[in-house]
Amino acid sequence: VSEGVDVPRLAVGVYATTISTPLFFAQAVGRFVRSRRRGETASVFLPTVPDLLGFANEMEVERDHVLDKPKKEGEEDPYAESEQEMDEANREQDEDTGEQEQFSFEALESEAVFDRVLYDGAEFGMQAHPGSEEEQDYLGIPGLLEPDQVQLLLQKRQARQIAHSRKKPDEEADLLELPAERRPVVSHKEMLELRKQLNTMVGAYVHQSGKPHGVIHTELRRVCGGPPSAEATAGQLRQRIAKVQEWATRMR
């Protein structure tokens, strides 16, 4: 969707970019936050990056304070869609500056996995196998029910799924991770310490191997996977720390 174009019917989005600044997130996801007809909802799929999930929670709180309630019968329809706006959006194209041709990229293999639903200030669901019944349960809910019905159904399915997972050993459970309530909570301070530890380990390995910092970080991402360190999860940071330690041990 081009900058400055408003599309009232915009209902499903995928946040597929490495940009994670609050302003960009608000501009992109804000296209989906609007007053809608009763029963209509919009869904935005986000990668499981702590900063992005935090932005989503903050935006939900701001939305509840800003959006006006629908007007009463007889008043102007707040949901009236503009066909002219739709036509303009369909015709709108980004200006081709040729900048994209100056950069090279390599497509890497990846697989998206459902993690959870953020709804009304709460988290529902957990990471499930792609295409499984657990994933379809949560992906099929938005847009089919009223908001209060959605929340009630999410709570019921969450409780049922957690109870089901507790009956099986972790290695036999259908879920790839523990339920959300049993996941370890990593504070912002702990994340900073992990990033600092990783940078310290990389710095030590720089002197040992003679390779630049950037080359080592790139190699860690290639071997361990995941986004840049600033966007990586605690588990990904720990994995990279362990890998650097392994490399350093081999060179002794």
Other residues' Cβ atoms within 10 Å of the Cβ of residue 98: 7
Domain ranges of the chain: 12-89, 117-182, 188-251
Token pair 């990279």 is found at 240
What are the residues whose beta carbons fall under 8 Å from the beta carbon of 162, sequence distance 6 or more?
A: 179, 181
Report pLDDT digits (tens) over 149-184: 666 766 776 677 666 656 655 444 444 444 544 555
Return per-residue pLDDT of the chain as tens, 252 residues.
Answer: 555 566 666 788 899 888 889 899 988 888 887 776 766 778 888 888 888 888 888 887 777 665 555 555 555 554 455 555 656 655 554 445 555 566 676 767 666 666 666 666 666 655 555 556 655 555 555 555 566 666 676 677 667 766 665 665 544 444 444 454 455 556 778 888 899 999 999 988 888 888 888 899 999 999 988 888 888 888 889 999 999 999 988 876
Q: Which tokens belong to 240?
A: 């990279």
pLDDT of residue 91: 58
Quickly tell me which residue has 């990668």 as its tokens.
Answer: 47
The terminus-to-terminus CA distance of the chain in angstroms comes to 53
pLDDT, residue 141, reads 52
| Predicted pLDDT of residue 177 | 46
72: its two tokens: 């009463």
Beta strand 12-14 pairing with 117-119: unpaired
* Phi, psi for residue 88 in degrees, rounded to 5: -65, -40
Pairing of the two strands 122-124 and 117-119: antiparallel
Q: What gap in Å lies between CA 100 and CA 92, rounded to an integer?
A: 19
- What is residue 100's DSSP assignment? G
pLDDT of residue 19: 87
pLDDT in tens, 222-241: 998 888 888 888 888 999 99
